[in-house]
Amino acid sequence: MRGIPSLITDIRKKVFTEVARMAYAGGDYTHAEELPYIIVPGDQPLHRESIFLERAIAGERVRLAMGLNLRPVQTRMLMTQGMSAAAVAEQYYEPPLVNIIPYACHACPTNQYKVTENCQNCLAASCQRVCPKGAISFVNGRSYIDPNQCIKCGKCAKACSYNAIIHLERPCQASCGMDAIGVDDNGKATINQDKCVACGQCLVSCPFGAIVDKGQIFQVIQSILKGDQVIAILAPAFIGQFTQLVSPGKLVTGMKMLGFDQVVEVAIGADMCTIEEARDFLEKVPEEQNYMATSCCPAWHEMIYKLFPSETGKISMTLTPMVFTARLMKKEHPGCKVVFVGPCAAKKLEAIREDIRSDVDFVLTFEELMGMFEAKEVDFSSIPESDLLNLGTAAGRGFAVSGGVAGAVTNLIQQQYPGTQVQTARAEGLRECRKLMTMARAGKLNGYLIEGMACPGGCVAGAGTILPIEKAQKFVEKYAAEARTASPLESPYRDVGKGLGD
């Protein structure tokens, strides 16, 4: 669904835009009560059975975009209740980060196999013959699967010559590599927050737009209006996200029009991370530990903590590129506020950790930043170029694509110690990451550097991106190739990382 314009993406953009517009206007935030009527105008519903339902859902989206909790369905509460606490310039996310709006959930079918009209009532009856439980019979000239006997093995679907048997699976559940999505008594989806790692894949997989993450647009703008020096640190996956007509130089100009004092690319933090992870690997593997896992993806990191606690000591202790860059900004500009702008919902979870809060003040996704551009009516076709983002190396920019982290580290090791061979293994998507960690725990990846990315394709597939994944990957690859320097050893910050990590 990502990269395909839809009513869901339209509504998300409207919500982010109107929240940003309200924040920039300043003054009394209580007119947020009017926003659902702006987001869903007119007297006819756009999709659902009632315009009142659509506006109720829009109201919850506004609250979540401002970092507020959902309102309980069974209790009367004004939409603006609690907004006074959110209308400040120092608001952190409060769990849960990823939320399901219950009355937006369609209660989609859960795991089941169903015979379609393509069934030809064939003589072979292969579906019946392969079923280990005898759950399939002919009813009215068509195969019928008894749901009480079916064990969901899928053998019937594989055996059917006409592909007449389909597998129905709730999209959010299918996308969740942590098996954190459950079902309540009404068939609505629920999230087990003890399992959730905030990767956001359920968010982009729900075709009804019922799953929403919290935002900090309002707080970022409050900080800007307050007069803080607000510095945006921009993840490498940004390239192309705001259409290919928006060059890096124009993007910087546009962000300064929003009120950001400076814009810095997180690729410089990725370069620091590469240097420190290479040192970490060479010092510890195999002398202190039998393999090392990369540190960059917060959802991968959290997955290991939740499901493989015995292996947490094998994760590199190196800071993530976001934190390296944020600490550098805090060191160079004491008292500044740092906003990480990127593709990732899980970075919001990382930023609320006690040891990170003082470094990263706010996190915005590319979608949320686009809402700010819309609110300020930034016309990229008419604005000038600013200084290019030119301090990151090709290796640092490549972090945005799956394999980029491990590739940068191994290339650096081979550059420093020619002839050194480093074995790597990587996985994309949390289900595959779990398989990878199971192999590592079993001792099958001894001596390896292993990289996990919660989003299939890497950071370019994060929940806050705008482009289709393949297109985003190509933009990043081209942007990396255009870097002035290739190796982190050529970065002006090559010797800075160790001091920031202490």
Whether residue 298 has pLDDT greater than 70 = yes
Residue 235 has pLDDT above 70, yes or no: yes
In this prediction, residue 2 carries a pLDDT of 67
User: Do 258 and 306 form a contact (C-beta atoms < 8 A)?
Assistant: no
Partners of 263 in the β-ladder: 232
Extract the tokens encoding 197: 């790692």
Given a cut of 90, whether residue 62 has pLDDT beyond it is yes
Ranges 46-50, 63-67, 184-188, 373-377: which has the least confidence: 46-50
Confidence at residue 244, expressed as pLDDT on a 0 to 100 scale = 81
Q: Which long-range CB contacts under 8 A does 419-422 form with residues at least 24 apart?
A: 422/281, 422/449
Q: Does residue 127 contact residue 142 with C-beta atoms inside 8 Å?
A: no
Q: Inform me whether the pLDDT recorded for 502 exceeds 70.
A: no
pLDDT in tens, 299-313: 999 999 999 999 999
Q: Where are the alpha helices (DSSP H) in 230-345?
A: 248-258, 267-284, 298-307, 321-332
d(CA 328, CA 339): 13
Split at pLDDT 50, 70, 90, the class of 89 is low
pLDDT digits (tens, 9 = 90+) for 423-460: 999 999 999 999 999 999 999 999 999 999 999 999 99
Q: Locate tokens 């917060």: which residue? A: 298
Can you give the length of the chain in residues? 502
- Rounded CA-CA distance 73/60 in Å is 11
What is the per-residue pLDDT for 249? 95
Q: What pLDDT shows up at residue 498? A: 82
pLDDT 10s digits, 326-336: 999 999 999 99
Which residues have C-beta within 8 Å of that of residue 268, sequence separation ≥ 6? 324, 325, 328, 391, 392, 396, 491, 493
* pLDDT value at 281 more than 80: yes
What would the pLDDT profile of 144-183 be if each residue is shown by its tens digit? 999 999 999 999 999 999 999 999 999 999 999 999 999 9
Number of C-alpha atoms within 13 angstroms, CB side, residue 102? 14
On the CB side of 238, CA atoms within 13 Å amount to 28
This prediction has a pTM of 0.94
| Better-scored residue on pLDDT, 84 or 8 | 8
Given a cut of 70, whether residue 395 has pLDDT beyond it is yes
Q: What is the dihedral of CA 244, 246, 252, 255, to 10 degrees?
A: -110
pLDDT of res. 79: 85
Q: What distance in Å separates the CA atoms of residue 379 and residue 391, rounded to the nearest whole number? A: 26
- pLDDT by residue (tens digit) across 183-193? 999 999 999 99
| Under 8 Å between Cβ of 267 and 392 | yes
pLDDT digits (tens, 9 = 90+) for 90-109: 766 788 999 999 999 999 99
Percent of the chain with pLDDT over 90: 86
The Cα 289–Cα 308 span in angstroms is: 15
Is residue 105 within 8 Å of residue 188, measured between CB atoms?
yes
- Give the dihedral of Cα atoms 181, 185, 187, 189; nearest 10 deg: -30
